A and B are shown apart, each in its own frame.
Chain A
């Protein structure tokens, strides 16, 4: 009897713990992320000038799916973050910048089916019933806006390439209105810059 007590306690304990598990996703905001990547040898010491491409380019499988009516707001916010680093914007036609900033967006549509089960329903005569699984279709569109910094000071002259030294990305599920998407994107881009203090001069 005393040996059986142990597995019984283990089972009761494990069951009681299941109720303590937190939900992983509770709202659409939980899908929003701001991420940064830097080149292993990135060094922003001595960066003083930048130039930015005013066009947000679309890449990926769902091209031409993005509403560009408020691109200027996104570019303006990126400019504000770059200026806050102490960098000065220059015209790349007349002056070679230290860093060239390029902005791109990509979206993808995700569809699928969720399988759910209706609860057991007990008939008045006491016998149990259950229904076959039901299928719920879902579709959502995700988007990522990427801000890439190219180090013009250190080109790969052999292969005629300019290295990307930093990428900030805002990723999430697209909302129904463009203005909401822009607000979210700008907040996430702000966060990406905040998480990269070395951009103001230094190494990661």
Chain B
């Protein structure tokens, strides 16, 4: 992904609050802690579920049952293994520490089943944007790292439970899918795929 596209995405994100304010609704901002399960090629590299996952999210209502937002996440996957890894011009075997630090930077759109004041709101959401991954591969006395930018999408389903004084508890399941990139250390191009299940706490900020 080019720097220009990232800048355009950042400018769009920066403009979101103004759009939302024009709608006259209070935005929600919050943090979610998530457990994640790697899938497909991500699982092949780090076959280990992750308990390290946090995201910060804001949602600006564009109507009673819709919102747009920003999702900034961090998920780490790691695994200690002795499996042979196929590299672009060879192989390497030995005790390895494999690690992905994934940072999704997404714009999101959300549809709710109920009005903002309802005690319980089911929702579906789709996010799209950049995935930045820092890959670390430790073996023997060597460490190889790679920084990867990918475009990805992320559908989500969840429920928001409105509690007291404007606070909201959110329970959600989110699937992350970032398109193939050749920048990983592995021989073949890799996608980034994982499923996250999280609990979040949100609050109205205006």
Q: A residues touching B (Cβ–Cβ < 8 Å)?
A: 2-3, 5-6, 9-10, 13-14, 17, 20-22, 24-25, 29-40, 142, 171-173, 188, 191-192, 195-196, 204
Most B-side CB within 10 Å, residue of A33, A142, A204: A33
Most B-side CB within 10 Å, residue of A21, A24, A171, A204: A24
User: Judging by beta carbons under 8 Å apart, are B140 and A32 in contact?
Assistant: yes
Specify the chain A residue showing the minimal Cβ separation from B203. Answer: A2
User: Judging by beta carbons under 8 Å apart, are B141 and A40 in contact?
Assistant: no
User: Judging by beta carbons under 8 Å apart, are A32 and B54 in contact?
Assistant: no
User: Judging by beta carbons under 8 Å apart, are B91 and A6 in contact?
Assistant: no
B180-203 interface with A by 8 A CB criterion: 201, 203
Give the number of residues in B that approach A within 8 Å (Cβ atoms).
Answer: 28
Known: A2-B203, A6-B30. A22 touches B90 (CB 8 A): no
| Complex Cα spacing A71 to B125, Å | 65
A-B contact count (CB 8 A): 80
Q: Which of A13, A22, A34 is the one whose CB lies under 8 Å from B80? A: A22
For residue B78, CB closer than 8 A to chain A, the reply is yes
Q: Which residues of A contact B203 (CB under 8 A)?
A: 2-3, 6
Q: Which residues of B contact A20 (CB under 8 A)?
A: 51-52
Q: B residues touching A (Cβ–Cβ < 8 Å)?
A: 30-31, 33, 51-52, 54, 78, 80, 84, 89-95, 97, 138-142, 165-167, 201, 203, 205
User: Judging by beta carbons under 8 Å apart, are B97 and A171 in contact?
Assistant: no
Q: Which residues of B contact A10 (CB under 8 A)?
A: 31, 33, 54
Query: From residue A187, how far is it (CB to closest CB) to chain B in Å?
Result: 10
User: Judging by beta carbons under 8 Å apart, are A196 and B52 in contact?
Assistant: no
Q: Which residues of A contact B138 (CB under 8 A)?
A: 24
User: Judging by beta carbons under 8 Å apart, are B95 and A32 in contact?
Assistant: yes
Specify the chain B residue showing the minimal Cβ separation from A30. Answer: B95
| Complex Cα spacing A34 to B205, Å | 55
